Structure 1
Amino acid sequence: MEQEIREHLRDPVYIYAVAHALGEREPISGLTDPVVVDHLDLLHENGFQHYLASSRNVHELAGESATRTLSSVDATQIGAVVYATNSPSENVTHSQDGWAFLRAASLRGVPLTVVGGNGCGNLAIALRTARNAVQAEGLSSALVVTTDRVTSGSRFEDSGSIILSDGAASCVVGPTLRGPGFRLLGVSTAVKAELGGSASLMAMARVIRTGIHRAVENLRRTVPGGAGPFRLLVTGNYGLTTRRMFSTLCGFDLSETYAPLVADIGHCFSADLLISLAELEKESLLRHGDRLLLLATSPQSWSLIAVEYVVADRPDGRTPDESPLVIT
């Protein structure tokens, strides 16, 4: 049995059937929140134009996204659900919110794990949890869904100077793939839970730099072929200044950093990265063999997710084209 588990842990795992469900798009200039009004010029300078608002509970947004994901796979093969949120529905526990999601997604009998604790970086721990379940337990597949919305307070987030949006994203994680998807090469997380609300900008910058560098080093030790080369760094929908800093810390030029929907949808918490993967596929910007580095962050945790784009059952059998990927 032990040998069997070891063999499973060496098997490849793939991410596919990515989908999302988002709130309604509204211009940030229409918000009357005084905090947003005070920072409107800064938000515009950083590329934000719109945000997404929904009156639905997060489990309902998650249910819609999951239904779209499951429409393209055999839902009876889903052996586990990993549900990630930083903002459960009002007046319920995280567990109750997860159970409501299972009902909304018609997955009432599937084992559920609710994860959190990494804020807008929750996707990384959700993928790690799903990967581990698939590999260690030999599951046919697991469903990952991340969902959040603003229920109180301001939509302006001082950390990164961003505008928060409501939305959910989902995918399937499994050991086999037909058609396009992403091989999950590795996940690396660094945490530094020591910053208080009164920390200076210089102290925050030092902690962020140390955290990202540690995550990069961890990834180099665990990813097949090391931590590169990668065609693109995919970040959350942060402002231009923050994305420039993250690009430098991860060893990329800003032109190699992908976050195409900053202006259109704002920052959808930990759903941003899956939404961007779906956008890359929709725009046909990926080729078989392209490696991507995803950066999932919160104010005190930094995760790197390494993936490789794979088109299974390629009819031509050609070696992937290694020419530079140009994003316009």
Structure 2
Amino acid sequence: MRPFNYTNAKNKEQALQSYTSTSHYLGGGTNLVDLMKEDVERPDQLIEVANLDYKNIIKKESGGFTLGGMLSNSETANHPDIRKNYPLLSMAMLSAATAQIRNMATNAGNLLQRTRCPYFFETSMPCNKREPGSGCGAKDGVNSLHAIFGYSDKCIATHPSDMCVALAAMDAKVEVQKVYGSSRMIDFSNFHRLPGDQPEKDNTLEPGELITAIHLDKPKFSDHYYYLKIRERSSYAFALVSVAAGLQIKSGVITKAGLAMGGVAHKPWKFTEVEKFLEGKKPNKVNFETAAEMAMQDAKPFEGNKYKVEMGKRAIVRALTHAYERKA
């Protein structure tokens, strides 16, 4: 690990004012510190923000809830209000990593975690995300874990988060504090970005912006929900494919649907058109299978990850079925 300066920010103003182009904010550090050890990330300064009181809460607001950016994943997933009103989010978060990591990892840090692509971690291999212009080793290499949606010639990596897949299905919003005092709200669908010609940029944050909160709308899927995570082993592994499914059902008809997939793109992959298709339909096998076909019709797999197409279809049907049957 390379030498770095450490700033223990006393408040958000000090954190923002201390930021430079070679700084990183430090929350739980469960991803960042690993990347520093592997010489993938090389910050000159770490700014400690995990102890900030600012928005370090779970609070009911305008029919929904606000989640503090500095709260741990465990505090969030196990909070009574989250388990009751947003069980899809809780279920997704509790499927991630280990209890020890969830106790350290922050909500804001979860949004910012970087890909687990082995070419990104291995500094002797080409990776445009790690070193722009060096090439993408995965494209013609071992790509069984990689994207089937939204990739570019520059990068085919996937986003690793479970929490973010649920947030995408739930249409969350992210609040960020700008360096010069103002704040802004980002729709979750616009927070992470596709690789395009700049795969080194994972999200739409501007330099120095600090995530302070995640905003959840009024609960819609507290009765019918399911998070399905398919992985190579049953614990402590990232998803090959994951599905966050939420249904709002009245009088035997789907009135609202939330559907997103993980492990298939550079960002959580939300199926907006499939959600629209499901709304007004009966929650049955035929409609779920049609939804799955629609969802996967634009997939463009590589030789190593063709299995994700069929796996994705089956996973969507299974997740929607479990969501429907949960309290049917």
TM-score, with length taken from structure 2: 0.27
Higher strand share: 1
Higher helix share: 1
Higher relative contact order (CA 8 A, sep 6+): 1
